[in-house]
Structure 1
Amino acid sequence: MICEELGDTKFCILVDEAVDAGGKEKMSIVLRFVDRQGFIRERFFKIVSVPDTTSLTLKSEIVKVLSMFNLHVRNMRGQGYDGASNMSGIWNGLQAMFLAECPSAYYVHCFTHRLQLALNGAAKGVHDLCRFFSTLLLVVNFVDSSAKRKGALKAARDDEIQDLIALNTLQTGTGSNQTCTLQRPASTRWSSHFHSIKSLIELFGSTVTTLYHIMDTASLPIQGEASGILRALRTFEFVFCLIMMDKVMKVTEVLCQALQ
């Protein structure tokens, strides 16, 4: 159906690779084109398992997929990737290989990825924010690394929700007050940091309760670790950065979504 919609017109490819839950390399291929009505369409086309992520392997697999559906490289008019050297390299990168075969297939480094790299780089240049994100990751990893701790967090959150509902300080209704967990941020995805911050703000009280519970019931080494994390979590500097970055990243999230 996608090929029928595309016809024999020009198109762009958007490609990214990632490791799945089984540890296998996967490459996703998206086609971007203008349909017969003049509207820009982006269609998720295929996921391909690849033995490695060298530019030669990726090009070979992409050409194989396109050939399978009678799509010709000569009709390619754009390439959208991240900035990794195997994708963007001007000599041996994937974009250079396709450009050599089709000079009109111009490469564009994903704008959202560029924005996220810039924001991450800027944040790392501010020492207070660098410490804040390190502490944030420490809190999430500590609580999320154990099913028992995640269960304690869920129980603490359920009790907190019941108390807030009893005090009429929490709205109720279909879909409200869903149980959530702390979100782990990814190093290059600025949006994931925003989701991590939002989840900790929502679960801040429950997280503190969980850490106190761990300090009372866990082994001595774990008690000491929980105590140190709780102390860092409750400092003025951490809470200030948590609230400030929530406000800042509400703005950058809108920009990320628009670029996406």
Structure 2
Amino acid sequence: MRGEFNGLQALIIKDCKSTYYVHCFAHRLQLALVAAAKNVTPIHQFFDRLTFIVNIVGSSCKRNDELKNAHADDIAYLIINELETGHGLNQIGTLQRAVDTPWSSHLRSLKGLIKMFSASCTVLLKIMDDGLPSQRADATTVYDEMTSFNLVFILHLMKEIMGITDILCRTLQSKSQDIINAMELVLSTKNLLQQMRDNKWDDLLVKVKSFCELQNIDIPDFNAPYINKRSRGRAHQDNFTIEHHYRIDLFYASIDSQLQEINGRFSDDAM
């Protein structure tokens, strides 16, 4: 594959001089990080829902236009309320699908949904009012999931995690590799993830709650007992609180899956 003279790399470069070869390790790391994130069941379910949201909201040119118009209205409203303006800021975009191979596409998809959350809800409400019966049913399901605290929490959690690991993934795909810089970046990525695990829970929770208040999404009582609705038969009450569920089962579990994967692939011997 990577042979400079007789490999696939040589054949492709012969026809297209501007291409360059990226070692498969970078590609494998992206796939591994995606798989590691999805090892946490709620995270796997979240990415399935994310795909469904993007498909429903952006399924046609008409809906894309409605999304952009709704987003433009949101920006105009925020500018009146002293939103920062300037060159390159507040551009009208659209939602992006996340693909497992390019890790950065997941990050862009998450950022896009956060940025266009209100506009996406506006489009869904319009579909619920004017769409065909099957479209109204799908839009109602997506809207109910989007306006849940659980989805908003995971949305912000994964955006923070992927914001850290994305830098490493991009560096490993660069045309020219600085090995010393790459090694330091691996260490800094591990440290940033560990610091997030140790110190950033309160910051994340404040950010999520602030977003929910802005979008009029109900915030659960974190001191209340956690009710497991996925148990067989009737839902039962586990012996821990809602805060325990979000902090241990989601926050810690998601970060630990990334740390475990990176530590496994960048062991002392590999470094």
TM-score range, shorter chain: 0.5 to 0.7
Going from structure 1 to structure 2, the CA distance change for 1:30 and 1:243 (only over 3 Å counts) comes to: farther
Shift of 1:254: 0.6
Deviations 1:96-144 (A, max 9, x none): xxxxxxxxxxxxx522201111111112211010000000010011112
Larger Rg: 1 or 2? 1
d(CA) in 1 for partners of 2:107, 2:128: 28
Q: Does the 8 A contact of 1:186 with 1:193 survive in 2?
A: yes
Corresponding residue for 1:230? 143
Shift of 1:174: 2.1
1:152 aligns with 2:57: no
Which amino acid in structure 1 is aligned with residue 55 of structure 2? N
Going from structure 1 to structure 2, the CA distance change for 1:201 and 1:28 (only over 3 Å counts) comes to: farther
d(CA) in 1 for partners of 2:41, 2:92: 33
1:208 aligns with 2:192: no
Identify the structure with the greater helix proportion. Answer: 2
1:241 aligns with 2:154: yes
Q: Does the 8 A contact of 1:13 with 1:29 survive in 2?
A: no
Deviations 1:47-91 (A, max 9, x none): 7xxxxxxxxxxxxxxxxxxxxxxxxxxxxxxx956xxxxxxxxxx
d(CA) in 2 for partners of 1:172, 1:13: 53
Percent identity between matched residues is: 41
d(CA) in 2 for partners of 1:154, 1:80: 37
Deviations 1:167-204 (A, max 9, x none): 11x21122221111001111322111111001001001
Going from structure 1 to structure 2, the CA distance change for 1:178 and 1:15 (only over 3 Å counts) comes to: farther
Count of residues in Structure 1 that have an aligned counterpart in Structure 2:
170
1:118 aligns with 2:90: no
Going from structure 1 to structure 2, the CA distance change for 1:199 and 1:11 (only over 3 Å counts) comes to: same
Deviations 1:137-162 (A, max 9, x none): 10011112111111110110010010
TM-score by length of 2: 0.57
Q: Does the 8 A contact of 1:15 with 1:30 survive in 2?
A: no
Q: Does the 8 A contact of 1:165 with 1:171 survive in 2?
A: yes
1:29 aligns with 2:13: yes
Going from structure 1 to structure 2, the CA distance change for 1:111 and 1:198 (only over 3 Å counts) comes to: same
Residue from 74, 89, 95 that aligns with 1:176: 89
Gaps spanning 5+ residues in structure 2: where?
Answer: 174-271
Deviations 1:210-253 (A, max 9, x none): 11111111122211110001011112211111000010001111
Q: Does the 8 A contact of 1:214 with 1:226 survive in 2?
A: yes
Corresponding residue for 2:76? 162
d(CA) in 2 for partners of 1:247, 1:12: 42
d(CA) in 2 for partners of 1:252, 1:13: 34
1:195 aligns with 2:167: no
d(CA) in 2 for partners of 1:122, 1:178: 33
Going from structure 1 to structure 2, the CA distance change for 1:13 and 1:194 (only over 3 Å counts) comes to: farther
Secondary structure of the equivalent of 2:17?
Answer: strand
Residue from 168, 172, 178 that aligns with 1:259: 172
Which amino acid in structure 1 is aligned with residue 51 of structure 2? L
Going from structure 1 to structure 2, the CA distance change for 1:238 and 1:14 (only over 3 Å counts) comes to: farther
1:142 aligns with 2:114: no
d(CA) in 2 for partners of 1:251, 1:12: 37
Which amino acid in structure 1 is aligned with residue 40 of structure 2? V
Which amino acid in structure 2 is aligned with residue 197 of structure 1? L
d(CA) in 2 for partners of 1:221, 1:233: 18
Going from structure 1 to structure 2, the CA distance change for 1:160 and 1:15 (only over 3 Å counts) comes to: farther
Which amino acid in structure 1 is aligned with residue 137 of structure 2? G
Q: Does the 8 A contact of 1:143 with 1:149 survive in 2?
A: yes
Shift of 1:14: 8.8
Corresponding residue for 1:92? none
Q: Does the 8 A contact of 1:14 with 1:29 survive in 2?
A: no
